[in-house]
Amino acid sequence: AQSVTQPDIHITVSEGASLELRCNYSYGATPYLFWYVQSPGQGLQLLLKYFSGDTLVQGIKGFEAEFKRSQSSFNLRKPSVHWSDAAEYFCAVGVRVGITGGGNKLTFGTGTQLKVEL
């Protein structure tokens, strides 16, 4: 079965500093990988996704992530953090539901809570 590990439960960075959130996955086939962000009491918003091709993926809000198959990792990065980036971040791996379609079942990590110091 697939699994996702986010080793950092909490991370605090200063505004303007760079950010890297770690994500490791376990899945037997080529993974579909996603990063989502969640503000308190809200749903999840997609930041970016990877399914094939270029291993460096650009997302919204200035985020990027790099897929490294040899390390089973999909770390999220941002060069300069803004106070509004404070939120919880979830990494997820997608599993095909059906042979000819049917969508994705996502398995999520436990999340990383980001705090930004002004």
Partner 1 sequence: DGGITQSPKYLFRKEGQNVTLSCEQNLNHDAMYWYRQDPGQGLRLIYYSQIVNDFQKGDIAEGYSVSREKKESFPLTVTSAQKNPTAFYLCASSIGSGRSSYNSPLHFGNGTRLTVT
The site for partner 1 (CB under 8 A) is made up of 4, 9, 32, 34, 36, 41-46, 49, 51-52, 90, 94, 96-98, 100-111
| Nearer residue to partner 1 within complex by CB, 50 or 78 | 50
Which residues in 34-56 are b (16+ Cβ under 10 Å) and which e? bbbbeeeeeebeebbbbeeeeee
Write down the least CB distance from residue 36 to partner 1, Å.
8
Strands 73-78 and 87-96: unpaired
Give φ, ψ of 83 to 5 degrees.
Answer: -55, -30
| Nearer residue to partner 1 within complex by CB, 106 or 116 | 106
Write down the least CB distance from residue 4 to partner 1, Å.
8
| Nearer residue to partner 1 within complex by CB, 2 or 15 | 2
Write down the least CB distance from residue 78 to partner 1, Å.
19
- For residue 19, what are its two tokens? 């950010």
| Nearer residue to partner 1 within complex by CB, 7 or 79 | 7
**Single-letter residue type at 104:** N
Distance CA 69, CA 16 (A): 30
